[in-house]
Amino acid sequence: MKRIITALLVLLAMSLSQSALAAKAINFNFVDSKGKVMRLSDFHGKWVLINFWAPWCPRCWMEFPTLNDLDARKDFVVIGMAMDYGGDEKSVHSYIDRYSLRYPQVLGGNRQDAKSPAYQIGPVDFYPTSYLYDPSGELVMYIPGLVSKQKMLAFIDQYSLDHPLAAVAEVVEPVPVVDATSPPIKPAEFSSGNFIGKGKPSAKVKKKISM
């Protein structure tokens, strides 16, 4: 009997925790390469894709045209975050110009740096890596590897049908401040599209797909 009661209490706690995560979305706070401040709440009502890339990553170059096309949509915003460029910011700008990247870029520095803005989103184990927020600001997808425009639009269409009120929820503030004294976030493990273990992102990720 005690085991049954314990199991029921655990299930109740998990249910309450998931409901709380679904109701909240942490507001990131970035400054792009042109000095403009960007917050998740600025894009309320739009899909937001955070794309982590590095200048020396050929696979990252391959998806730049796709990201430009997605960002051209009225309901979609792409934010690029350049990482691990060894302090050579000129190399980042050269690739921005070479591929005519129209969407804003954030200079994320080294991913091992505890002050990197990447810590506001989630673990980045390799490049490219992307995270998708729905129009209400909820983190709904982790994308390891290249982004497929076809799969992305198919997901958006289905998600919009399943969550017609996704653009109603409020974005919660403030962004947690990470300083140099904080322990580095360890790469998270992924199981059934949800984060497990240490280094959890600020919101529950509902789906993980390989595009």
In the prediction, which pLDDT does 165 show? Answer: 79
| Average of per-residue pLDDT across 48-77 | 97
| Average of per-residue pLDDT across 195-201 | 34
Neighbour tally for 110: CB within 10 Å: 14
In the prediction, which pLDDT does 26 show? Answer: 73
Average pLDDT, the chain: 77
d(C-alpha 18, C-alpha 39), whole Å? 24
- Least confident span in 59-73, 80-94, 139-153, 179-193: 179-193
Q: Determine the Cα angle at 73 with ends 70 and 76, to 5°.
A: 70
pLDDT value at 34 more than 50? yes
Q: What is the pLDDT of residues 111-145, one digit of tens each?
A: 888 889 999 999 999 999 999 999 999 999 999 99
C-beta separation of 110 from 21 below 8 A: no
Q: What separation, in Å, do the N-terminal and C-terminal C-alpha atoms of the chain show?
A: 46
Check whether domain 26-208 has CATH 3.30.70.20, yes or no: no
pTM of the model: 0.71
**What does the domain layout of the chain look like in residue ranges?**
26-208
User: Which of 197 and 141 is assigned the larger pLDDT?
Assistant: 141
Q: What is the pLDDT of residues 173-183, one digit of tens each?
A: 444 444 433 33
Question: What is each CA distance from 135 to 44, 84, 197, in whole angstroms?
Answer: 6, 29, 27
In the prediction, which pLDDT does 168 show? Answer: 55
